[in-house]
Amino acid sequence: MRILRIRKRALDKILNLAERDYPNETCGLMLGKFEGDEKIVFGAYETKNANQERARDRYEIDPRDYLKAEEKAREFGLEIVGVYHSHPDHPDRPSEFDLKRAFEGYSYLIVSVQNGKALSYRSWTLVDGKFLEEEVVIFGF
């Protein structure tokens, strides 16, 4: 299984944002490093959900936010390694829509929020057009 290592503080931030934005989807970018098949996430970069009409079950990240996040990452010698978003009252599995929009190489961390509580999360990566689950390993504080 592939591994997504994520700093505890970054994960906590993502879970908090997922709860804050409920019943809408929250979304943002994960900043870190690629190490072979592994990704190491040091920070979560919050973005707006550019899809306001279907904010409850869709997310869209403005290309300008990708650029801003990339700049921020570069300041710290990091890069964008993936995308996080939440599924309000839905499981932490990627939707067909998520599959269509995913880029190979990135990790997709999905948080399931039930009744306003972030209950679970799983990470996925696209390989040959299919999502494979990654093991999420938390480190640091």
Binding site for Zn ion (CB under 5 A): 95, 98
Q: How far is the CB of 58 from Zn ion (least distance, A)?
A: 8
Q: Supply the minimum distance, in Å, between the C-beta of residue 87 and Zn ion.
A: 5
Instruction: Say how far apart CA 108 and CA 23 lie, in whole Å.
Output: 20
Tokens 């970054």 found at:
10
Rounded least distance, CB 94 to Zn ion, Å: 6
Task: Choose between 42 and 124: whose C-beta lies nearer to Zn ion.
Answer: 124
Q: Which CB sits closer to Zn ion, 32 or 49?
A: 49
In the complex, minimum distance from the CB of residue 3 to Zn ion, in angstroms, rounded to a whole number: 21
Distances (CA, A) of 30 to 2, 4, 106, 116, 122: 17, 11, 9, 22, 14
Provide the CB-side half-sphere exposure for 80 (13 A, CA).
21
Residue 139 near residue 7, CB atoms below 8 Å: yes
Nearer to Zn ion by Cβ, of 60 and 98: the residue is: 98
Best CA proximity match to 80, nearest among 121, 111, 112, 108 = 108
Closest CB to Zn ion among residues 95, 138:
95
